[in-house]
Amino acid sequence: MIIGILKEIKSEENRVSMTPAGAEVMKQHGHTLLVEKHAGAGSGFDNESYVSAGAEIIDTPEDIYGPAHMVMHVKEPLPSEYELINEEQILFTYLHLAASEELTRALTKSRPVNIAYETIQKEDGSLPLLTPMSEVAGRMSIQEGAKYLEMAQGGEGILLSGVPGVAPATVIVIGAGTVGTNAAKMACGLGAKVYLLDINLDRLRYLSDVMPSNCFLIMFSPQPFANL
């Protein structure tokens, strides 16, 4: 199959839909890889690294949409690309169609085979292409929260970890799914006093086996958090 890796054009999107390592695996399985020039730049991969992996560097999106059996993006196609999409061509990317009538109508017209990353589900119901984003989001949330507690950022001047003699901050995480658990791990690592709440008691039991001892696992209820 001819697989096209497009450069992201949405503002502030630095990711790329396939790393050189991924390209090499695809190549080993017999596929042809077309990578748009500088597609990996925002993620730290230069053109040469894709060439080493066996891909061909292509100058324009037109020259990728044309021959590719499958085109890959990170974000949804922008209006400038609508005309380039071919019928029966596989479009593999985050689509989030519910949020855009315009995009939905454009794809209905071009009639590619759409496979949205966010809808791919494994047999056990997990969402393999969303989990890594949730892991990053959960871990970043503590980093962001720590920042906005700084007085210079308008916060109350609280250090999550405290120092010896000064109590650490209290962090309450509601929901012990991927995002919440990753957030709790970071907050625990910094030494905060962490409450992780969920309504799934089986999940809390597993977490009681593996979380650090400063993570207190609480059944969520609508009652106030007064005694946390």
152 binds a copy of itself (CB under 8 A): yes
DSSP 220: -
50 binds a copy of itself (CB under 8 A): no
* 203 vs 107: CA distance, rounded Å: 40
Among 2, 9, 38, 43, binds a copy of itself (CB under 8 A): 43
Among 168, 179, 180, 184, binds a copy of itself (CB under 8 A): 168
76 binds a copy of itself (CB under 8 A): no
Among 1, 37, 132, 174, binds a copy of itself (CB under 8 A): 132
* 179 vs 181: CA distance, rounded Å: 6
* 214 vs 179: CA distance, rounded Å: 18
11 binds a copy of itself (CB under 8 A): no
As beta bridge partners, residue 58 has 36
Nearest approach, Cβ of residue 204 and a copy of itself (Å):
4
Among 21, 33, 106, 175, binds a copy of itself (CB under 8 A): 21
Q: Each residue of 181-195: b (16+ CB within 10 Å) or e?
A: bbbbbbbbebbbbbb
Stretch that binds a copy of itself, among 76-84, 86-94, 105-113, 144-152 (CB under 8 A): 144-152
On whether the CB atoms of residues 45 and 19 are closer than 8 A, the answer is yes
Among 25, 78, 113, 174, binds a copy of itself (CB under 8 A): 25
Q: Which of residues 79-118 bind a copy of itself (CB under 8 A)?
A: none
* 224 vs 228: CA distance, rounded Å: 9
Helix (H) or strand (E) holding 180: helix 178-189
On whether the CB atoms of residues 213 and 190 are closer than 8 A, the answer is no
Stretch that binds a copy of itself, among 32-40, 69-77, 78-86, 188-196 (CB under 8 A): 188-196
Nearest approach, Cβ of residue 130 and a copy of itself (Å):
12
* 89 vs 68: CA distance, rounded Å: 7
Scan for tokens 């959960």, then name that residue. 138
| Site residues, a copy of itself (CB under 8 A) | 12, 14, 19-22, 24-25, 28, 42-44, 53, 126, 128, 131-132, 135-136, 139-140, 143, 146-147, 150-152, 156-157, 159-168, 182, 185-186, 188-191, 193, 195, 201-202, 204-205, 207-210, 212-214, 216-219, 221-223, 227-228
